[in-house]
Amino acid sequence: MTKREEYAYLSGIIAPVVTPFTDGGALDEDAFRAQAKFIMNAGVQGISPGGSTGEGCAIHDEERVRMIEIIKEENDRNIPIVAGIIRHSTRDALKAGLECRKAGASALMVTPIQYLGGTDMDGNYRYYQAISDVVQMPVIIYNVVPQNIVSPESAYEMLRGIEYLLGIKQSTGGVHSFMAMQQKCGREGMIYAATDELPYTTYEMGADGEIAAILGLFPELSVKIWNLYKQGKAEEGIRLQRLVYNVWMSITGSQFPRRLKAALDCIGRGCGGALAPLGYASETEYTQIRNALKPYFEYEKGEK
């Protein structure tokens, strides 16, 4: 059995979920539960706490564990839980991975080392090999670190050589880098899109699914776009992609978690600001997001 066959259950819309915090900087469990329930009730194929959308570089390991536990309590359809791990050493990644497995995660989405330029390709191989050997559960490379990019050639070697490595979430370089990764590695494992503004386009380019911040903001719409692709309804899929594009372009960039939370606030799912020092979006940012959301609100009004 190929990895693509073995892990086919991890295809589709795997929606990241934000991490709400109290004003004191603690995990807001009630707000997190509400966000996770909303996403899962929208019909997504999976859910992902603890990635960059969830401010995973800053959360404590015990907070990630608690989020997995809360998702399991609300996970009536038993969809996969893909736990994000953003740590700066093999030691800390192994600790987090073992705790995720014990808590009931289905798979891990692990970012390459990034501190002080990350490591070289041999170091990346050792990193993911260690996680596979010790944690022994499915692992997705979250290819997002500009100073430590995993090339298609390196990904190919890792997919062929590391037992539990199932695929790549391609988050850097836009559609050109996605295509390069898909062409080189598409037969060896699952290739996930993370080009938030062009979901339908990346599906047509061969994505096995998507793990991207926009999915947690618009889970129902995102599932609809995925289904339109599956049904071959390109015209409608592209039309809805235009809605996504405008909103995402008002959110993307540095410090995006606070703008994503501002967008959630604008659509009635507010859960506070980002963890300090990011805090809350500025009024200028709020204005940009509100303006970008106007076509989305018109679409929602028409749907009702």
Residue 191: beta bridge partners?
A: 168
In a domain, 161, yes or no: yes
Average pLDDT estimate for 268-295: 97
Map residue 48 onto helix, strand or coil.
strand
Q: In this structure, is residue 59 part of a structural domain?
A: yes
How many C-alpha atoms does 200 have within 13 Å on its Cβ side? Answer: 22
- Which string of b and e fits 221-230 if b means at least 16 CB within 10 Å? bbbbbbebbe
Residue 303, pLDDT above cutoff 90: no
Query: Is pLDDT of 155 > 80?
Result: yes
Average pLDDT, rounded, for the chain: 97
Tell me if 167 is assigned to some domain: yes
**Mean pLDDT, residues 171-197 taken together:** 97
pLDDT at 288: 97
Structure tokens at 78: 């038993």
Q: b vs e for 143-172, b when ≥16 Cβ sit within 10 Å of the residue's Cβ?
A: bbbeebbbebebbbbbbeebebbbbbbbbe
Whether residue 101 is contained in a domain is answered as yes
Burial of 304 (0-12, 13-18, 19+ CB in 10 A): exposed
pTM: 0.97
Distance of alpha carbon 285 from the chain centroid: 23
Residue 185: pLDDT over 70: yes
299: helix, coil or strand?
Answer: helix
User: In the chain, what percentage of residues exceed pLDDT 90?
Assistant: 96
* Average pLDDT score over residue span 214-228: 98
Distance CA 289, CA 296 (A): 11
Domain with 78, as residue range(s), is 3-233
pLDDT at 1: 87
Question: What's the pLDDT at 304?
Answer: 63
What whole-number distance in Å separates Cα of residue 159 and Cα of residue 278? Answer: 36
Q: Region 83-101: what's the mean pLDDT?
A: 98
**Could you report the per-residue pLDDT of 54-70, keeping only the tens digit for each?**
999 999 999 999 999 99
Residue 16 · residue 54 · CB < 8 Å: yes
Residue 61, pLDDT score? 98
- Is the residue at 12 inside a domain? yes
pLDDT for 3 beyond 80: yes
Provide the CATH number for the domain around residue 119. Answer: 3.20.20.70
Domain count, the chain: 1
Q: How far apart are CA 138 and CA 35, in angstroms?
A: 25
Please give the pLDDT value at position 38.
98
* Tens digits of residue pLDDT in 222-268: 999 999 999 999 999 999 999 999 999 999 998 999 999 999 999 99
Each residue's pLDDT tens digit, 132-152: 999 999 999 999 999 999 999
CA neighbor of 209 nearest in space, from 227, 221, 197: 227
Identify the residue with better confidence: 125 or 304: 125
Place 116 in a pLDDT band, splitting at 50, 70 and 90: confident
Paired with 139 in beta bridges are 108, 165
Helices (H) then strands (E): counts for the chain: 13, 8
- Give the pLDDT confidence score for residue 302 in this predicted structure: 84
Contact call for residues 83 and 137 (beta carbons, < 8 A): no
Q: Which of 48, 59, 115, 118 is nearest to 84 (CA)?
A: 48
Q: What is the pLDDT of residue 72?
A: 98
Has residue 284 been placed in a domain?
no
Instruction: Judge whether 275 lies within some domain.
Output: no
What does the pLDDT look like over 15-48, one tens digit per residue? 999 999 999 999 999 999 999 999 999 999 999 9
